[in-house]
């Protein structure tokens, strides 16, 4: 099933000016109804309290496909919040796992006892309906949408279908994963393919796909569990630092990228992150490394002829340094000349 809750166009000619207020009220009511429809469809399997600051002009899309015991979801929506409280868990628990592949935007989850994660586009995560959570989804601009959106693919399926021991499974939930290869990458590709083919899958085929997907999820989580359990401490430290470096590169543009955010995204304390990163990075702290990477990116961009029309302050902001004075001081300290002088020298040609 594919459902959309997009704004509709009115029929006929525009009414008289005196009807403008009534038309505005009707449009607001339509937007609220679209939000409620989308929220109700989401909570059919993801039972939670959904809210958004964007009810005015709200628009969203939802593709929903039943795959035997598994439900596939593909959705696009503005920034929203999803809360499942402890009281709600006690009153009603469908005992379902929620897997999400984020395509666009960012997620920030807070769970019980300080658990949680931050994730970006391309990340996989799994939530348990039996545990409370507070999930904030932040929209980002993309080529196909003029407004910031969150785009995601998901699977909802009964907990009983996942053949992983509970003690091992607990360590794998409410975390964010970046599939780099193996079964995680295969699962992500499968979800993309399913999304593209959703409207053309015959019912009999759809019925058989659900168990296949659960097997893929089980194999991926088993790989994650075994890899984590068997790595030597030194290998785990190196793996953490490499994951952190990749995370920073993907989010270098975000001025809110801090050691606290990075530590939360990788499920470690800030003090542990500082210690491990500094030891594995030749004594350079993570904050210094982020600053150096931003300046190096700005240095390259300023020398790029294709970006000569982009203002210096805009290039700096794209590298995660939104304050022009801070950027100029840091750039001069690193390279011995101002950003404008560097651009002038780099782009000046013979004659």
- The arithmetic mean of pLDDT across residues 292-305, rounded, is 94
Superfamily of domain 231-351: Homeodomain-like (1.10.10.60)
* CB neighbour list of residue 292: distance below 8 Å, 6 or more residues apart: 284, 334
Spatial separation of the C-alpha atoms in residues 343 and 160, rounded to whole Å: 60
**pLDDT tens for residues 159-179?**
888 877 777 777 788 788 988
Give the DSSP letter of residue 25.
Answer: H
| Element holding 128 (H helix, E strand) | strand 124-128
**pLDDT tens for residues 194-226?**
999 888 899 988 998 898 888 888 888 888 877
Let me know: does 274 contact 286? Beta carbons within 8 Å.
yes
How is the chain split into domains, by residue range?
28-230, 231-351
**pLDDT tens for residues 223-275?**
887 744 444 466 567 767 877 888 888 888 898 899 999 988 888 889 999 99
DSSP 290-331: HHHHHHHHHHHHHT-GGGTTS-HHHHHHHTT---HHHHHHHH
- pTM for the model: 0.60
Choosing among 2.60.120.10, 1.10.8.420, 3.60.15.30, 2.160.20.10, the CATH entry for 28-230 is 2.60.120.10
More confident residue, 44 or 222: 44
Spatial separation of the C-alpha atoms in residues 288 and 119, rounded to whole Å: 22
- The arithmetic mean of pLDDT across residues 47-65, rounded, is 90
- Among 19-33, 93-107, 310-324, the least confident range: 19-33
More confident residue, 42 or 21: 42
**What are 128's strand-pairing partners?**
97
* CB neighbour list of residue 193: distance below 8 Å, 6 or more residues apart: none
293 pLDDT tier (thresholds 50, 70, 90): very high
CA distances from 55 to 86, 130, 158 (A): 26, 29, 31
């Amino acid at each position: 099933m594919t459902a959309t809750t997009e704004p509709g166009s009115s029929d006929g000619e525009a009414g008289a000016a005196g009807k403008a207020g009534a038309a505005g009220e009707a449009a607001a009511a339509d937007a609220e109804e679209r939000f409620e429809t989308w929220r109700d469809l989401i909570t059919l399997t993801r039972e939670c309290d959904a809210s958004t600051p964007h009810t005015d002009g709200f628009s969203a899309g939802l593709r929903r496909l039943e795959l035997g015991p598994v439900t596939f979801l593909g959705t696009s929506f503005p920034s929203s919040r999803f809360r499942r409280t402890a009281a709600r868990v006690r009153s009603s628990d469908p005992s379902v796992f929620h897997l999400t592949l984020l395509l666009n935007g960012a997620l920030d989850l807070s769970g019980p006892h300080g658990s949680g994660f931050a994730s970006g586009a391309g990340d996989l995560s799994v939530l348990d309906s039996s545990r409370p959570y507070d999930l904030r989804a932040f929209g980002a601009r993309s080529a196909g949408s003029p407004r910031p959106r969150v785009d995601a693919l998901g699977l909802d399926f009964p907990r009983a279908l996942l053949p992983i021991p509970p003690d091992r499974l607990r360590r794998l939930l409410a975390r964010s994963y970046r599939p780099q290869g193996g079964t995680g990458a295969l699962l992500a590709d499968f979800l993309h393919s399913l999304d593209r083919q959703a409207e053309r899958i015959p019912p009999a085929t759809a019925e058989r796909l659900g168990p296949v997907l659960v097997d893929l999820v089980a194999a991926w989580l088993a790989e994650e569990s075994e890899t984590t359990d068997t790595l030597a401490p030194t290998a785990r430290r190196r793996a953490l630092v490499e994951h952190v470096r990749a995370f920073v590169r993907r989010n270098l543009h975000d001025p809110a990228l801090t050691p606290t955010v990075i530590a939360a995204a990788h499920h470690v304390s800030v003090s542990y992150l500082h210690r491990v990163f500094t030891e594995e990075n030749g004594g350079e702290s993570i904050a210094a490394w982020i600053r150096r990477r931003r300046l190096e990116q700005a240095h390259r961009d300023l020398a790029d002829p294709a970006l000569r029309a982009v203002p210096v302050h805009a290039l700096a902001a794209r590298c995660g340094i939104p304050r022009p004075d801070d950027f100029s001081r840091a750039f001069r300290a690193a390279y011995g000349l101002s950003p404008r002088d560097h651009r002038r020298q780099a782009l000046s040609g013979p004659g």
